[in-house]
Amino acid sequence: MFTRRQILSTGGTAAAVGLATPAILRAQSWFASYPFALGVASGDPAPDGFVIWTRLAPDPMAPGAGVPPYAPPVQWEVADSERFNNVVARGEALARPELGHSVHVEIAGLQPDRPYWYRFTLGKDRSIRGRARTLPAAGASPQALRFGVCGCQNYEDGFYTAYRHLAAERDLAFVFHYGDFIYEYRQDNEFDKNGLPLPTVRRHAQRELYTLDDYRRQYAQYLTDMDLQAARCSHAFLSTFDDHEVRNNWVSDIDQDGVPPEIFALRKAAAMQVWYEHMPVRAALLPRGGAILMNRRLRYGDLAALNLLDTRGYRSDQPCGDGVKPVCPGISDPKASVLGSAQEAWLDANLGRKDATWSCLAQQVMMMPLDRRRFDDEKEKSLNMDSWAGYDAPRSRLMSRLAKIDNAIVLTGDEHQNFAGLLLDRDRPVAVECVITSISSGGDGQDLRPGSDRMLANNLQLKFINDQRGYGLCEVTPEAWKTHFMVLDKVTEPGLPIKRRATMTMPRGSATLSMG
C-alpha cells in the first residue's frame, strides 16, 4: 500500500487537476484486500446519463474501512456493451476521505432510453460491472414503463433473497427505494408468540449508532450482503430516506426520546452525510447544514412523472405522543406540516405541469388515514400518528390538490405490509395508494395478520392487505397502471422463490382500482 508521501513523490496529485494517474500507480495493488468489497451502484437516471457510485473499503468494518486518510484516484469507464468493447466515457475521480472514500460520478452525454455498463479501477483492482439505463428523451412518448419499489431492510430480521430476485428482473427502468436502508440499533432479544426467546437470523455488529464512524460501519455491514449488491449493480436506484437511516420516528430536529434538538442535530448531520456517501445520488444532494434537499422529480417521457418526497426533514412533531393512538385534538392542528412549505409549493407546481399521463408521488409514510383497530377489545378509533393520518391539515390540502389532476398514484413504504386502497377528498376518490412491503423488516410474514379482516371492514377505502416480505413491480402504459405485489414465504431461510401475490390495476381516467 502506498503512503501519502509516495503518492506525492510519484505525481499522484495529478489526479486533482485532471491529469492521468502515473503508470507506476496503475500497475500496483494499493491494498492487501480487495478495495471494491461494497460493490457498485448507479442512480438518478436522466435521458443523457446517470450517477455511478462505489466506495473503497478493503477492510469494511475497520476504521476508515482500511483506507488511510488520503484521496486515491479511481478510474471509471462506461461502455455500450457488457463486454466493454466500446467505451463511450471514461475518467478519474478522487475517493475523498471527507466522504468516507466514496466516489460519485455524474455521467452525461449518453444516448437516451438504452442500457449502459460501468466499472471502476484502482491500480490492479477492478470492480464488478454495473448496469444502468438512461431515460427516454424529454419529448418521447414511450408506451411502457416497468420499475421496482422496495425498502425497509433490517439486516437482523432476515436474508435479502428478495433483492436477488429483484436483480433478476429484466428491463426495469429503475428501482425506487423508499428508505430504511439501514436500521440504527441492535435487537437484544427476539421472542416467539409465547414470549420465549428466539435466535436472531443475523446480528448487527454495533448496538446503537451515533457518530460518522458508527453509521459508516453499519452501511458497510449491510453492503457486504451479495444479494443487495446484486440488485444495486443491476438497476439504477432512485434513493430516498425514511427514519431508520437516522433514528426511529425522527422528524425535523426532533428525537422521540427527548434528546435536546441541538444535540440530536449533530447525530442527524452524521447520519445524513453517511447516507449521501453510500447512495448513488447527484452532488445536489450533498448535505448542507446537516440537511439534504432530497425531493426531486423524474420524468419518463410523457408517460409518467415521479415526484420523490421527503416526509421526515420538514415535518412537525407527531401528535398524541406518536405511535398508534386514539384520535386526539393535535391531529387537527392547522399549523401542522408534513412536507414543509417550500416542498409543498414545489410539489404543487409539479402537479400543475400536466406534462405526463401519470403523476406519481413516491414517498415514505402512508397517506390513507386508516382506522388501525384489529381486535374486539379496541373500542376507540386509532390512527398511526407517524403517518399522514396524524396531520389533517396538510393531508387535506394534498387531497384537494390531487382532486384537480387526473391519474394520480402514490407509492409508499414504512408499514412492512402490502396495502392497496383509495385516497379520498371529502369521500370522493382522487388517487390510488400502493404501500409496498419490506425486504426483510418484520421477519417471516404470513398472508394476513390477525385482525386484518376487521381492519378491512373498518376501512372501506382499503381494498387489499398482505403481511409478507418482498417488493413491488410497477408496469405503466398510457391505458393503465399496474402494481404487482411480489412476496416470499420466509426471509429467515435464504434462497426461497418469489411469487406474485396480487396485482392492483388502476385504469386511466378513473380513480378506481381492481385487484387480481
- Over residues 253-279, the pLDDT tens digits come to 999 899 999 999 999 999 999 999 999
Contact in structure between 219 and 278 (CB atoms under 8 Å): yes
Contact in structure between 461 and 413 (CB atoms under 8 Å): no
Q: pLDDT at residue 12 above 90?
A: no
Mean pLDDT of 360-369: 98
Confidence at residue 379, expressed as pLDDT on a 0 to 100 scale: 84
To the nearest 10°, the Cα dihedral for 498, 501, 507, 508?
-30
Output b/e per residue, 122-153; b: 16+ Cβ within 10 A. bbebebebbbbbbbbeeeeebeebbbbbbbbb
Percent of the chain with pLDDT over 70: 95
Contact in structure between 468 and 437 (CB atoms under 8 Å): yes
Q: What is the pLDDT of residues 65-98, one digit of tens each?
A: 999 999 999 999 999 999 999 999 999 999 999 9
Of the candidate CATH numbers 2.60.40.380, 3.30.2130.10, 3.40.50.1820, 3.40.50.150, the domain formed by 4-133 belongs to 2.60.40.380
Confidence at residue 27, expressed as pLDDT on a 0 to 100 scale: 63
Rounded Cα distance, 433 and 151, in Å: 16
Summary mean pLDDT of the chain = 94
Phi, psi for 512 (deg, rounded to 5):
-135, 165
Contact in structure between 368 and 421 (CB atoms under 8 Å): yes
Confidence at residue 177, expressed as pLDDT on a 0 to 100 scale: 98
Q: What is the pLDDT of residues 335-360, one digit of tens each?
A: 999 999 999 999 999 999 989 999 99
Confidence at residue 24, expressed as pLDDT on a 0 to 100 scale: 63
Question: What architecture does CATH give domain 145-515?
Answer: 4-Layer Sandwich (3.60)
Question: Residue 192: which pLDDT band, with cuts at 50, 70 and 90?
Answer: confident
Contact in structure between 178 and 149 (CB atoms under 8 Å): yes
Confidence at residue 2, expressed as pLDDT on a 0 to 100 scale: 40
Top-confidence residue, 430 or 13 = 430
Output b/e per residue, 461-494; b: 16+ Cβ within 10 A. ebbbbbbbbbbbbbebbeeebbbbbbbbbebbee
| CB-based contacts of 5, cutoff 8 Å, min separation 6 | none
To the nearest 10°, the Cα dihedral for 122, 126, 127, 130?
110
Domain boundaries, the chain: 4-133, 145-515
CA-to-CA separations, 327 to 150, 284, 291, 386, in angstroms, rounded: 30, 39, 31, 13
Q: pLDDT at residue 436 above 90?
A: yes
Output b/e per residue, 225-251; b: 16+ Cβ within 10 A. bebbbbbbbbbbbbbbbbbbbbbbbbb
Confidence at residue 29, expressed as pLDDT on a 0 to 100 scale: 81
